[in-house]
Structure 1
Amino acid sequence: MPTHHRLIVIHATILLGMVAAATVAAQETAPAVEQSVKPGVNAKFLDESLDVDAWIARFEVESREVYHARDEVLKACGVKPGLRVADVGAGSGFYTRLFSRTVGPTGWVYAVDISPKFLQHISTSTSQLGMHNITCVLGGERSIQLPPQSVDLVFICDTYHHFEYPQSTLASIYSALDKDGSLVVIDFERIPGTSRAWTIDHVRAGKATFRQEIEEAGFELAAAPKIEKFSENYFLRFRKKLAE
């Protein structure tokens, strides 16, 4: 074989080896695509035939703890005039309305939900009430769809267990919070042998697991106040942990 042909073969072999090594390295370092923790958990909320009035009757009733304790919860959140709040999983919007009144004209509330029908209800009802400091945001299954550092508080009430892709969603929450931002999570105590069968079947994990997921996403627990009117729910407030 002529010398110049041999050099071409050698160079090609080296190049192919480099490409193969780079491919392996990329496969080893590329982040894995997050898998659903509970496929179909939000199917009923995405259904075009969703009966909003039926859900309002379930959500806005004194027998529901988070509704009954709404004033106590609002106080524990530390909401005050001028704050920017994201109500993630806003549902019928009863906390959205409370936040709107509390932050006042100098603050703002983002009602985030994956259900277009819930958002349409919130938009219509709050407009009729003269609340003009609210923006409805159609959230995605992996993101709350808010710009970086756009809010001071993210509020998640009975909704964290509906996060189908919690790692991705928490990353979007971390990004959306300002540097001194807080994350409030209210969810159900899931204790085998103690909690209701509905909770065991519906809520995928207990408080310790959810707390670990949130802390691994860059948050640290700031407070876990006792809400006197809670018997099945818990309240956790986290702060955004900044890089040192």
Structure 2
Amino acid sequence: MHGVGGIEGEDPTFDQARQPARVIAALGIAPGQHIADIGAGRGYFTLRLSDAVGPEGQLVSTDVDDAVIQQLRMRVSARKNVVVRKVGPDDPGLEAGAYDLILLSEVDHFLSDRAAYLMKLRAALAPHGRIAVTHLRAMRPPLVAAAQAAGLFIASEDTSLPDHYLLILQPASSH
């Protein structure tokens, strides 16, 4: 079990591979934004994202697993800007047009239909909203194909992470 880096229970080896501070910086989150952490698990990025949006922002963290959701709720219980939601495997559980940023970190390979799920995430984006995906480099080709099928384009890519990619996707109609 890996904890959140910089927070109790962190695993420095895991953080070295994942580079969480670099990922958060690359996301360009502004205080006050409304963001979502899809498939948040035990909250590897949740606390960092909560810090990034600040007290005026809101973070919605989702997962499909009851036990993980319970652990996540306990971890964030003192944070007023985090909402934890249990969702179905094909339903992101996000309001339409509401999110400045949606993060998927090492979860897209679990989706039964990546393109259909990305279409649902696209509908949840606010104007100029972005979807960020980070995963192992070997997982990039199916994600890129699904993004194109969902009408998303790669707005930017960070290739400086040791073993992972970070893609920022936006709706094709917004560029």
| Fold conserved between structures, TM > 0.5 | yes
Q: Which has the higher contact order (CA 8 A, sep 6+)?
A: 2
- TM-score normalised by length of structure 2: 0.88
C-alpha displacement of 1:171: 1.8
Tell me whether 1:101 sits opposite 2:51 in the alignment.
yes
1:94 deviates by 2.5
Distance 1:119 1:185 in 2: 21
Aligned counterpart, 2:169: 238
Is 1:119 the counterpart of 2:69? The answer is yes
Query: What corresponds to 1:178 in structure 2?
Result: 126
Measure the CA separation in 2 of the matches of 1:141 and 1:242: 27
Aligned to 1:225: 158
The one of 185, 191, 216 aligned to 2:149 = 216
Give 1 or 2: higher helix fraction: 1
Residues paired across the two proteins, number: 171
- Tell me how far 1:57 sits from its aligned partner: 5.8
Question: Which residue of 2 is the match for residue 63 of structure 1?
Answer: 13
Bigger Rg over Cα = 1
The answer for the alignment partner of 1:189 in structure 2 is 137
- Equivalent positions of 1:1-244 (< 5 A) are 55-56=1-2, 60-65=10-15, 68-127=18-77, 130-190=78-138, 206-227=139-160, 230-242=161-173
d(CA) in 2 for partners of 1:136, 1:83: 17
Gaps spanning 5+ residues in structure 2: where?
A: none
Q: Which protein is richer in strand relative to its size? A: 2
Alpha carbons 1:161, 1:187 under 8 Å: kept: no
Point out where structure 1 has 5 or more consecutive residues left out of the alignment: 1-54, 191-205
Identity of aligned residues (%): 22
Where does structure 1 differ by over 4 angstroms across 4 or more consecutive aligned residues? 57-60, 65-68
CA 1:145/1:67 → structure 2, altered by over 3 Å: closer, same or farther?
farther
- RMSD value, Cα: 2.2
Question: What are the superposed Cα offsets for residues 55-90 of structure 1, whole Å, 9 maximum, x if unpaired?
Answer: 346995222257751111100001120111100110
Give per-residue Cα distances to partners, 1:115-145, cap 9 Å, x unaligned.
1211111111111xx2111111112111201
Quick one: distance in 2 between partners of 1:66 and 1:138? 29
Equivalent residues of 1:144, 1:169 under 8 A apart: yes
